[in-house]
Every structure is written in structure tokens, then in C-alpha cells.
Structure 1
Amino acid sequence: MPRIPGVPTKEASPLLRVVYFYAKRRLGAVPEPFTVLARHRKLFMASARHELAAEKASKVLPNNVREIAVYRVAQQLGCSWCVDFGTMLQKHEGLDIERLQQIDDYETSPAYDRQERIAIAYADAMSATPTRATDEQVAELVAEFGQEGVLELTYQIALENMRARMYSALDLRDQGFTSGDACRIPVPADAPEVSGSGG
């Protein structure tokens, strides 16, 4: 159960109900972070616009590189919700999710190519406190992905750091996206088509 409860459908404004409907139609369930952030309407709207804009703008990097770097942040910071959701996104992109079990051995595992390895290393460097990114590392990334690619990678890694830290602080946990049944639906108990209990 999150430390701040989400807004259930029965308490949602008409606009929020539309957002919930769209999210559930697109993702199979309403992401619990949506419902929690909905307690602060202006931040919720700002976040929704930002997430959609960042998704639309991030088209320079290969999907596998961007997704594995973002996943690595979630895994390193211990955000179970982000790991769950990120695994689902990779699955829907047609990427191999079985290899995620080998991510701690990414430097030597044949499951990862060179581009993915340098992106994962960058995600690790950026997610450390303080950050450990170096001139040499960024230069290598620019040679591989170009300046726009590195800016996109940096932005997406930083964005996932924000998400993972916020969701972990609020105790938002995996929701069942990976299994496809979103067994811990947030909007919950008042959604008749949803089976299973919240929490």
C-alpha cells in the first residue's frame, strides 16, 4: 500500500476519469503512480504532459538501448514498480526480457551488445551519488550515438532516476504489469472489471 493513497475512480473528477480510462486502455491497468500523483492535480497534469512529450521526443536512440538504460536505473535504485513496468515495456517492444536476469553481468554477458553495455555503464555512473560520469565516457557515447543520442540517453536516465526515487519514497510497488494481469490494480476496488485486491 503506498504511503499516500491513490485517488479511486469513484472520487475522481471527470477529467481524471478520462485519463484513467485512456491509461487502462493503453496499458491494461491504471498505473498506481498516476493515482497517487492525482492527489495534486497541477503536478499530475504537468507530469502527464511531460511524460508524453518526453516519450514523443525520444526517437534518436535505438529502443533497446534506451529501454535497457532506463531499466538499469530502476533495478539499481530498487524501484520494484519501475522494474515491473519497464519489463512490460521491453516485452511490448519485442525485446528479450529473459536476458534481464543477466544484467548484473552485462560487461561480459553475450546477451548484451556494445551499445547496450556502454549505455548501462552510463546509467550506473549517472545513478551513483555523487554521479560518476566522465569526459571519456561521454566522448565514447557521442562517438557511438551522436550528441542528440547522448542528450536523449542522459535525459531518459535522469528522468528514471526521478521516477524511481519518488516511487520508492512513496512505497509504490510492482503492479503485475510483467505478468500481464496487473493483479494489484490501483483504481481499484471500485472498478468492477478488475479482479483481485489492491495493495
Structure 2
Amino acid sequence: METRFDMFGNELALKFAKRFANAGAVITDSPLPASIQELVSLRASQINGCGWCVDMHTKEAAAHGESAERLNLVAVWRETTVFDAAERAALAFAEEGTRLADAHQGVSDETWAAVRKHYDDDRIAALVALVSLINAANRMAVIVHQKGGSYRPGMFDAALAGQS
């Protein structure tokens, strides 16, 4: 399938993308560790089948020092030893927050308690916003069939630079 629509080539879509990125900047600038942000974004993107976002978050995480081993194991994080308890809580939260239709309660009490154990209120606020935002980004990219494979670290920011 070919990309249906260029979200960076349309003035209205680009304006929206800029505002969307500004919302993301609040999360980027939050105290939630960048490594957690990328792992959570990658896991939600894998679940949603978003090739563009998997490509982006894998490459951005690697550019910021994340190991290939850990990136390769995000999809099977429960079956690994490479993620600590705080990362595991965030990955569980990402999965449950992404798969809302799969469980009547959304994020389980057990997962919420694990997140509460490892993160303060500001980090939780950022985590809730991040899971919401990455799911929206995944849906936009999947709807237009935006393909992964061509992303380069910093490309998204560069595409939005100078837009109002």
C-alpha cells in the first residue's frame, strides 16, 4: 500500500502536527525519563501496528543511547531480564492504556499500583498524557498508511520547524 496522504505536505495537517508536537513538548520537558518515553511510545506503536512510529521511536531511542538489545526486546518485555521494575510498570501501563477495548477497566488496579510505586504525580501525569498522545499519533499514521523505514533522528522536529 502506498501512503494515502502526506500529513507534512498539507497546510492544515501541518498546522495540526505543529500543535500536536507542542503538546508532546510538554511531555518531553517533563521529569519522566526520556528512555521511558521512548520505550512506552515504541510499545504502543508496536501494538497499534504503526510502522512509521515504530521506526521513529526505535531510531530516536537508539540515537539517545538505548541499546539494540533492549529495543529488540520491547515487544516481549515480560519474557526478558533487561527492564527494571519501573520500566516494566510503564510498559504494562502502555499496553493496558493502548488496549482499552480489551478490558472493561482499562488500566488494571495492579498496574496502576505498580506505576504509583515507581513514579511521582508529575511523572504519572506525563505517562498518562504520553500514552494518550502516542495512541493518537499511531492512529493518524495508520489511517494515512504512513510507512516506516525512512525516518532519521530529528526528522519530525525538522519537518515542523518554522511552521505556525
> SS of the counterpart of 1:173?
coil
Q: Is the 8 A contact 2:100 2:107 kept in 1?
A: no
Correspondent of 2:139 among 158, 165, 175: 165
> SS of the counterpart of 2:66?
coil
CA RMSD of aligned residues (A): 2.2
In the alignment, which residue of structure 2 is the partner of 1:91? 62
Q: CA deviation at 1:177?
A: 2.5
Structure 1 CA distance for aligned equivalents of residues 27 and 147 of structure 2: 28
Cα distance change on mapping 1:143 and 1:129 into 2, 3 Å: closer
Q: CA deviation at 1:43?
A: 4.5
Once the two structures are superposed, residues 55-90 of structure 1 have per-residue CA deviations (whole angstroms, 9 ceiling, x without a partner) of 244321111111101110001111000011111110
Q: Please list every run of 5 or more consecutive structure 2 residues that lacks an aligned counterpart in the other structure.
A: 160-164
Percent of matched pairs sharing the same residue:
23
Structure with greater helix percent:
2
Scaled by the length of structure 1, what TM-score is found? 0.67
Q: Which has the higher contact order (CA 8 A, sep 6+)?
A: 2
Correspondent of 1:118 among 81, 89, 106: 89
Amino acid at match of 1:112: F
4+ aligned runs moved over 4 Å, structure 1: none
Scaled by the length of structure 2, what TM-score is found? 0.80
In the alignment, which residue of structure 1 is the partner of 2:17? 47
Once the two structures are superposed, residues 98-120 of structure 1 have per-residue CA deviations (whole angstroms, 9 ceiling, x without a partner) of 32222233123122111111111
Amino acid at match of 1:176: S
